[in-house]
C-alpha cells in the first residue's frame, strides 16, 4: 500500500478509503477509551488527526506514540466530526518506526525560544515556525528559477573558489590545502602559494557578478543563484558569513530597465509565495503578531505580514534619486528635530536610520534609490554625465533595509580602467573582465539580491539566522 | 522601440514589421553591393541574417561590423529568399555598440580546439558549442528543480563551510581567516583554531547528505543542489575540485523506492532537455559525430547523441545486484580472454573497465547495481540481513560510468554507531546526526548525483571541464 502525504489527505484526496499515513507525532491527547494523535509529515503546516480507540491497540504501542516519534498508520480517512479539521483517520493499525524518549527529546509541547532552537538547528525543522519558514524558502527559491526561466535567462554556476578579489566587497575566507604546520616558503621567506592546490592564493567568492557579466556578453541575459561569503566579524541580525545571492546580468539594459526587472522580480516571487504557501504565511503572520505584543508600541508592525506582502505586490515601488532622498531627509521634521543619529548631507552613505525613515515613515513602501555619489559606490558602476554620480540603484524594503544593490555597468574601457586604478585595482589582473569591454562590449546592467534578506522579509523573521538551515556566523559552524 | 530576441524573430514573431535586434556578429560576408551579417544573441544556437545594402550605410559603420562586435539593428523582418533561414532582417539602421578588433579578437571564423577555448573560458560562451552546452546545462538545472517541486520535495541549502568531515568522502579544502604569516599557537605549540573565524577548524563541504538527512526527518522529502568540493590531485576528464551535486533524501523510502525515484528523475530531466533544447542537442550530436571521425573505429559511439538520450528515456534501466554483476563479468568472454586489466572477484570495487563492460557491452543501457559488499561502501549505508552487503546502489551510464551513488541509510542506532567506530569516526562528534536515529528515526534513503556528469552525458562532451563555466582543477583557478 502506498503512503499518502498529509497535505493530500487534508484535501480529502482519499476520503472514505483506507489510507497509509507516515509522519511524526506532534501531540497525543485523549482518555482511556480513545487517543487523538496529531501527525505531521512536513508536507504542510497542518497536522492530520489520527483517532485510535484504545481497545483496538496494544497498550505498549500506544505508550511509544509520544511527541517526536515516527509512526506509520493505516486506517480510513473520514470527514471529521471534531472542530479544527475537515478530515481525520480512524486508525486500524499503528506502527512505531522510531521512538522519541519524552525524557530526552528536546521538543516538547511547550513553546521554545528561537535562541534555544538555534542550538538544536537539526531538530528545529520539526516545529511549526521553522517548518513554515523553510517551506516558504523552498517556494521562493523555485520562484526565482521559474521567473528567470520564463524570461529566457541562462542560469550560470559561477565559481565558488576564486583567485580574484577585485570587487573588494569585503573580507574574504582563504581556501587552502597547504599544511599549516609546514608552510612552503619562497627563497625570500614568503609563503609559497605556488605550492597551494591551485598554484596561487585563493578565496571564497564574494560575488559572481564579474563572471556573470562575461556570460551576459554571450547569452544576453543570465543569472546566478549560489552561495557567497563574507569573513566579517558582524554579529547582527542581518549578517551571515555564508549566504545565498541571486545576481542577474543583462546585456543591452540601462538603469531603468534594470530597476523595472528588479521590481517585477521581487513582486513575482512574493506573489508566488502568497499563492503557494498561504497557510504557512498566515501562521507566520500570526507568530509575528504575537511577538509584537511583547514589543513597545513604536516598534510594532503597522501592517500584518500578509498585508505587507500584498501591499508590495500590488503597488508600484517609489523611485527617487539619491539627491532627492537627501532633500527629503533634510526637509523632514525628523531631521529638524535632530532625531537622526548620523548627519545628513549630500555625499554621505545612507545609514540604516535614513533608509528606514524613507521607506517606513515617508513612503511606506519599497523605494528604489538611484544615482548615488560615485565615491560611495563600486568602481564598475557607470559614470553619469554629471561626473559626480553613478548609475547605481538600491532597493530598500520596509523593516529590512537594502535587499537589492545594482547598477548599470561601466562599459567604456577608458573610464573603467581609470576607475579601477583610482581604487587600487591592477587592470592587468582583471584582463578577462576587461575583455568584455574590449571585444563586443555594450551597455549592460545587473543587480544582486541577498536571498536570506528576502526570506526574512517574506516570513517576518527578525533574525537572519532563522531563515537559513544551518547559519554560519563568527564562532559558529555547528552541524 | 523594444528589442526582440533572435529566438523569437526566427519563429516569425514580428514578421513584416519593423524590429529592433541586438546581439553579436558571428560572420559577415557579401560583396560591394550587399552585406549578409549573421547575428547571434545567445537566446538560441541559430543566427539571424541581417541584409545590409551597402548604399544605405556609412562605409565606416560597415567596416566596424566584424566578428565579435556588438550591434543594434533596426529593419523589417521578412521571409527569407535565401537558403538556410526562414526569416531575415532587411536593415534600415545599424549601430555598432562595441567593436571587436579583428587583429586581436581571439574568436575568428576558424574552428578552435576545446583546449584553446578553455584558456579563454570567458569568451568561449560565444561559440556554438559552448552556447549549446550552457543552454542545455541551464535547462537541466531548471528540470531538476521542476521535478522535485512537482513531487513536493523541499529544497535545502545545506552549508558550504563545515566543521564536520565525517563522511570521509575525500580530501578537503581548509577554510580559514588566520594570518598564515602569524599563526596563533596554543601553549602546547599547536595551531590554535579557537582563534579562527568559526572558533574551530573548518573545511569546504564534500556532501550535504547528513544535513539533508536531518531535514528529511521533518519534511519527509528534501533535496539539495549546491557546490561540493574535493581537494584531490586528479587531472582526469571526469574530475573537478569544485562541482555541483544534487542530493535528495527521503524519509520512509527503501532501496527500491530510491532506485525508482533516481530512474524517474534521470529520465525526466533528459526528456525535458530533449523537449526544450532540441536544436542545441542536434548541434552537439553533429559535433560528436564529427569528433568521432577522428577516432579509431572501436572508440566511436554506437548511437548518435540523440538516439542515446532517447534510448535512456524510453527504456527501463537494468537492475542487478553487485553479486550478479560479478557473475556476469566472470562469465564473460572478455574475462575469459583476460581482457580486463584488473582482476574480478566478489569483494572488489568495480573498476571503470568493469562498469563499462556491463553498461556498454552487456546491457547497452543504464544499469542500477545494488547491494555492494559493506567493506567497499560508506558506514551510513544500511546493513543487509546477510551481514555482508549493504543496501547501496550505483547507477552506471554508457560512456560516463557512475552518475548516481545512493543507499538506504542505516536507521538502527546500535548498528550505525558500531559501523562509525569501525571506520574511526567518533560518534560524539556527530551527535546531531545520531539524533535523527535517537528521536523519531525511520527507514530512509537518498542518493547523490554529480550534476556535471549528467551534463557531460547529455551534451556528449568528453571533458568535464567543458561543461562547467569556469572549471576548478589542480593548478587552475583562473577567472
- Contact call for A160 and B158, based on CB within 8 A: no
- Contact call for A477 and B163, based on CB within 8 A: yes
In terms of CA atoms, which chain A residue is nearest residue B233?
A197
How many CA within 13 A on the CB side of residue B314? 7
Name the minimum distance, in Å, from the CA of B363 to any CA of chain A.
Answer: 31
Q: Do the Cβ atoms of B242 and B227 come closer than 8 Å?
A: yes
* Per-residue confidence (pLDDT) for residue A82, from 0 to 100: 78
- What does the alpha-carbon distance between residue A399 and residue A237 come to, in Å, rounded to a whole number? 12
**In chain A, what's the furthest Cα-to-Cα distance?**
85
Name the minimum distance, in Å, from the CA of B235 to any CA of chain A.
Answer: 12
**Non-local CB neighbours of A299 within 8 Å, separated by 6+ positions:** A292
Name the minimum distance, in Å, from the CA of B122 to any CA of chain A.
Answer: 6
DSSP helix/strand/coil, B102: coil
Burial of A195 per CB tally in 10 Å (0-12, 13-18, 19+): middle
* Per-residue confidence (pLDDT) for residue A400, from 0 to 100: 86
Which of B28, B71, B98, B217 should we substitute to test contact with A (largest number of A Cβ atoms within 10 Å)? B98
DSSP helix/strand/coil, B191: strand
Cβ neighbour number for residue B31 with a 10 Å cutoff = 8
pLDDT in tens, A367-425: 999 999 999 999 999 999 999 999 999 999 988 889 999 999 999 999 999 999 998 88
- What does the alpha-carbon distance between residue A132 and residue B312 come to, in Å, rounded to a whole number? 38
pLDDT band at A168 (very low <50, low <70, confident <90, very high): low
* Per-residue confidence (pLDDT) for residue B221, from 0 to 100: 98
Grid coordinates given for A452:
536570506
List CB contacts (< 8 A) between A120 and chain B: 432
pLDDT in tens, A125-140: 999 999 999 999 999 9
Q: Do the Cβ atoms of B382 and B411 come closer than 8 Å?
A: yes
Closest residue by Cα to residue A307 from A364, A386, A358, A250: A364
- Contact call for A220 and B41, based on CB within 8 A: yes
pLDDT surpasses 60 at A167? no
Which of A8, A44, A185, A477 should we substitute to test contact with B (largest number of B Cβ atoms within 10 Å)? A477
pLDDT in tens, A244-257: 999 999 999 999 99
Burial of A343 per CB tally in 10 Å (0-12, 13-18, 19+): exposed
| pTM for this entry | 0.97
- What does the alpha-carbon distance between residue A353 and residue A342 come to, in Å, rounded to a whole number? 8
Grid coordinates given for A329:
531627509
Per-residue pLDDT of chain B (479 residues; tens, 9 = 90+): 999 999 999 998 889 999 999 999 999 999 999 999 999 999 999 999 999 999 999 999 999 999 999 999 999 999 998 787 889 999 999 999 999 999 999 998 778 999 999 999 999 999 999 999 999 999 999 999 999 999 999 999 999 999 976 555 568 999 999 999 999 999 999 999 999 999 999 999 999 999 999 999 999 999 999 999 999 999 999 999 999 999 999 999 999 999 999 999 999 999 999 999 999 999 999 999 999 999 998 888 888 999 999 999 999 999 999 999 999 999 999 999 999 999 999 999 999 999 999 999 999 999 999 999 999 999 999 999 999 999 999 999 988 889 999 999 999 999 999 999 998 888 998 999 999 999 999 999 999 999 999 999 999 999 999 999 999 999 999 99
- Contact call for A177 and B231, based on CB within 8 A: yes
List CB contacts (< 8 A) between B157 and chain A: 137, 141, 227, 244, 468-469
Cβ neighbour number for residue B189 with a 10 Å cutoff = 8
Name the minimum distance, in Å, from the CA of A332 to any CA of chain B.
Answer: 40
Distance from the first to the final alpha carbon of chain B? 36
Provide the strand spans (E) within A292-400.
318-321, 367-373, 389-397
The Cα-based distances of B156 to A144, A253, B215 in angstroms read: 15, 33, 8
- What does the alpha-carbon distance between residue A217 and residue B68 come to, in Å, rounded to a whole number? 10
- What does the alpha-carbon distance between residue A4 and residue A19 come to, in Å, rounded to a whole number? 7
Give the position of cell 599563526.
B183
Q: Do the Cβ atoms of B416 and B435 come closer than 8 Å?
A: no
Which of A154, A159, A242 is facing B161, going by the closest CB pair? A242
List CB contacts (< 8 A) between A224 and chain B: none
| Signed CA dihedral, B156, B162, B166, B172: sign only | positive
- What does the alpha-carbon distance between residue B289 and residue B133 come to, in Å, rounded to a whole number? 16
pLDDT band at A110 (very low <50, low <70, confident <90, very high): confident
- Contact call for A477 and B200, based on CB within 8 A: yes
The Cα-based distances of B361 to B298, B324, B357, B366, B395 in angstroms read: 12, 16, 5, 11, 16
**Beta-carbon contacts below 8 Å between A and B:** 330
- Contact call for B122 and A475, based on CB within 8 A: no
- What does the alpha-carbon distance between residue B282 and residue B129 come to, in Å, rounded to a whole number? 11
Grid coordinates given for B58:
556609412
pLDDT band at A349 (very low <50, low <70, confident <90, very high): very high
* Per-residue confidence (pLDDT) for residue B83, from 0 to 100: 80
pLDDT in tens, A25-50: 999 999 999 999 999 999 999 999 99
Angle, vertex CA A321, rays to CA A317 and CA A324, nearest 5:
105
pLDDT surpasses 70 at A165? no
Grid coordinates given for B74:
533596426
Inter-axis angle of helices A255-276 and A451-459, to 10 degrees? 50
pLDDT top residue among B334 and A170: B334
Give the position of cell 538551515.
A469
- Contact call for B22 and A252, based on CB within 8 A: yes
Cβ neighbour number for residue A346 with a 10 Å cutoff = 12
Which of B19, B22, B37, B42 should we substitute to test contact with A (largest number of A Cβ atoms within 10 Å)? B42
- Contact call for B204 and A175, based on CB within 8 A: yes
Which of B152, B174, B470 is facing A211, going by the closest CB pair? B470
**Beta strands at A34-40 and A18-30: parallel, antiparallel or unpaired:** antiparallel
Grid coordinates given for A420:
579601477
- What does the alpha-carbon distance between residue B64 and residue B71 come to, in Å, rounded to a whole number? 10
List CB contacts (< 8 A) between A160 and chain B: 160, 204, 227, 229, 242
Q: Do the Cβ atoms of B425 and B408 come closer than 8 Å?
A: no
* Per-residue confidence (pLDDT) for residue B297, from 0 to 100: 87
- Contact call for B441 and A476, based on CB within 8 A: no
Which of A175, A211, A231, A246 should we substitute to test contact with B (largest number of B Cβ atoms within 10 Å)? A175
Q: Do the Cβ atoms of A160 and B160 come closer than 8 Å?
A: yes
- Contact call for A435 and B122, based on CB within 8 A: yes
- Contact call for A469 and B156, based on CB within 8 A: yes
* Per-residue confidence (pLDDT) for residue A169, from 0 to 100: 56
Give the position of cell 559488499.
B373
The DSSP code for B363 is I
Which strand (E) or helix (H) includes residue A461? none
Which of B142, B244, B437 is facing A145, going by the closest CB pair? B142
In terms of CA atoms, which chain B residue is nearest residue A234?
B197
Angle, vertex CA B45, rays to CA B40 and CA B47, nearest 5:
40
Inter-axis angle of helices A451-459 and A128-150, to 10 degrees? 120
H helical segments located in A248-302: 255-276, 278-293
- Contact call for B70 and A251, based on CB within 8 A: yes
**Using only C-alpha atoms, what is the Rg of chain B?**
27
- What does the alpha-carbon distance between residue B458 and residue B273 come to, in Å, rounded to a whole number? 8
Which of A131, A145, A251 is facing B218, going by the closest CB pair? A131
- Contact call for B441 and A197, based on CB within 8 A: no
Grid coordinates given for A113:
525560544
Which of A126, A437, A442 is facing B218, going by the closest CB pair? A126
Which of A164, A441, A477 is facing B202, going by the closest CB pair? A477
Residues in chain B: 479
Closest residue by Cα to residue B38 from B53, B48, B23: B48
Which strand (E) or helix (H) includes residue B274? helix B255-276
What residues pair up with B172 in beta bridges, in sequence order? none
The Cα-based distances of B145 to A236, A377, A443, B459 in angstroms read: 32, 35, 32, 19
In terms of CA atoms, which chain A residue is nearest residue B467?
A157
Which of B70, B141, B475 is facing A441, going by the closest CB pair? B70
pLDDT in tens, A227-244: 999 999 999 999 999 999
| Signed CA dihedral, A64, A66, A72, A75: sign only | positive
Angle, vertex CA A189, rays to CA A184 and CA A194, nearest 5:
40
- Contact call for B5 and A152, based on CB within 8 A: yes
**Beta strands at B48-53 and B34-40: parallel, antiparallel or unpaired:** antiparallel
- Contact call for A161 and B469, based on CB within 8 A: no
Which of A122, A181, A215 is facing B469, going by the closest CB pair? A215
**In chain B, what's the furthest Cα-to-Cα distance?**
85
Name the minimum distance, in Å, from the CA of B245 to any CA of chain A.
Answer: 12
Which of B131, B197, B217 is facing A474, going by the closest CB pair? B197
- Contact call for A178 and B175, based on CB within 8 A: no
Name the minimum distance, in Å, from the CA of A177 to any CA of chain B.
Answer: 5
List CB contacts (< 8 A) between B474 and chain A: 197-199
Which of B27, B469, B471, B476 should we substitute to test contact with A (largest number of A Cβ atoms within 10 Å)? B469
- What does the alpha-carbon distance between residue A323 and residue A178 come to, in Å, rounded to a whole number? 50
The Cα-based distances of B187 to B191, B192, B195 in angstroms read: 10, 9, 13
- Contact call for A154 and B161, based on CB within 8 A: no
Which of A157, A222, A229 should we substitute to test contact with B (largest number of B Cβ atoms within 10 Å)? A157
Backbone angles phi, psi at B264, to 5 degrees: -60, -40
Grid coordinates given for A176:
587552502
pLDDT surpasses 60 at A290? yes
**Non-local CB neighbours of A107 within 8 Å, separated by 6+ positions:** A67, A68, A120, A123, A126, A127
In terms of CA atoms, which chain A residue is nearest residue B162?
A477
Which of A38, A207, A218 should we substitute to test contact with B (largest number of B Cβ atoms within 10 Å)? A218
- Contact call for B439 and A162, based on CB within 8 A: no
Q: Do the Cβ atoms of B197 and B237 come closer than 8 Å?
A: no
* Per-residue confidence (pLDDT) for residue B166, from 0 to 100: 56
Which of A218, A227, A443 is facing B227, going by the closest CB pair? A227
A75 sits in the region (left: phi over 0; alpha: psi -120 to 50; else beta) called left
DSSP helix/strand/coil, B199: coil
List CB contacts (< 8 A) between A277 and chain B: none
Grid coordinates given for A404:
537589492
H helical segments located in B360-467: 413-422, 431-438, 451-459
Provide the strand spans (E) within A317-443.
318-321, 367-373, 389-397, 401-409
Amino acid at each position: 500500500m502506498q503512503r499518502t502525504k498529509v497535505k493530500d489527505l487534508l484535501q480529502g484526496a482519499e476520503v472514505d478509503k483506507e489510507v497509509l499515513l507516515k509522519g511524526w507525532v506532534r501531540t497525543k491527547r485523549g482518555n482511556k477509551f480513545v487517543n487523538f494523535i496529531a501527525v505531521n509529515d512536513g508536507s504542510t503546516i497542518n497536522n492530520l488527526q489520527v483517532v485510535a480507540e484504545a481497545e483496538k491497540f496494544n497498550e505498549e504501542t500506544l505508550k511509544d506514540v509520544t511527541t517526536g516519534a515516527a509512526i506509520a498508520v493505516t486506517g480510513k480517512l473520514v470527514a471529521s466530526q471534531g472542530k479544527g479539521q475537515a478530515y481525520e483517520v480512524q486508525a486500524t493499525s499503528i506502527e512505531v518506526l522510531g521512538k522519541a524518549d519524552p525524557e530526552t527529546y528536546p521538543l516538547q509541547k511547550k513553546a521554545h525560544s528561537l535562541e534555544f532552537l538555534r542550538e538544536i538547528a537539526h531538530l528545529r525543522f520539526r516545529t511549526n515556525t521553522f517548518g513554515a519558514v523553510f517551506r516558504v524558502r523552498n517556494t521562493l527559491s523555485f520562484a526565482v528559477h521559474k521567473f528567470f526561466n520564463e524570461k529566457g535567462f541562462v542560469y550560470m554556476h559561477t565559481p565558488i573558489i576564486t583567485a580574484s578579489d577585485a570587487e573588494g566587497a569585503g573580507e574574504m575566507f582563504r581556501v587552502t590545502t597547504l599544511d599549516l604546520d609546514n608552510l612552503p616558503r619562497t627563497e625570500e621567506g614568503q609563503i609559497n602559494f605556488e605550492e597551494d592546490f591551485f598554484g596561487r592564493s585563493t578565496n571564497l567568492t564574494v560575488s559572481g557578478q564579474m563572471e556573470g557579466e562575461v556570460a551576459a556578453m554571450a547569452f544576453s541575459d543570465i543569472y546566478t543563484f549560489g552561495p557567497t561569503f563574507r569573513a566579517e566579524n558582524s554579529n547582527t541580525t542581518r549578517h551571515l558569513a555564508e549566504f545565498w545571492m541571486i545576481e542577474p546580468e543583462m546585456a543591452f539594459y540601462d538603469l531603468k530597465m534594470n530597476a523595472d526587472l528588479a521590481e517585477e522580480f521581487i513582486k513575482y516571487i512574493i506573489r508566488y509565495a502568497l499563492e503557494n504557501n498561504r497557510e504557512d504565511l498566515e501562521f507566520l503572520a500570526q507568530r509575528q503578531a504575537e511577538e509584537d505584543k511583547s514589543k513597545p508600541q513604536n516598534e510594532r508592525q503597522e501592517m500584518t505580514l500578509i498585508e505587507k506582502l500584498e501591499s508590495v505586490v500590488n503597488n508600484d515601488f517609489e523611485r527617487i534619486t539619491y539627491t532627492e532622498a537627501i532633500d527629503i531627509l533634510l526637509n523632514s521634521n525628523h531631521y529638524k528635530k535632530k532625531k537622526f543619529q548620523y548627519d545628513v548631507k549630500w555625499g554621505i552613505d545612507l545609514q540604516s536610520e535614513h533608509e528606514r525613515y524613507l521607506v517606513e515613515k515617508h513612503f511606506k513602501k519599497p523605494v528604489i534609490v538611484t544615482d548615488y555619489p560615485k565615491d560611495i559606490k563600486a568602481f564598475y558602476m557607470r559614470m553619469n554625465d554629471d561626473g559626480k554620480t553613478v548609475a547605481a540603484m538600491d532597493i530598500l524594503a520596509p523593516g529590512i533595509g537594502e535587499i537589492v544593490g545594482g547598477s548599470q555597468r561601466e562599459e567604456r574601457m577608458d573610464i573603467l580602467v581609470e576607475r579601477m586604478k583610482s581604487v587600487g585595482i591592477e587592470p592587468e589582473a582583471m584582463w578577462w573582465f576587461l575583455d568584455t569591454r574590449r571585444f563586443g562590449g555594450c551597455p549592460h546592467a545587473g543587480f544582486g539580491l541577498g536571498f536570506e534578506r528576502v526570506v526574512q522579509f517574506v516570513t517576518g523573521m527578525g533574525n537572519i539566522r532563522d531563515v537559513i538551515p544551518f547559519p554560519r556566523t563568527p564562532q559558529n559552524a555547528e552541524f
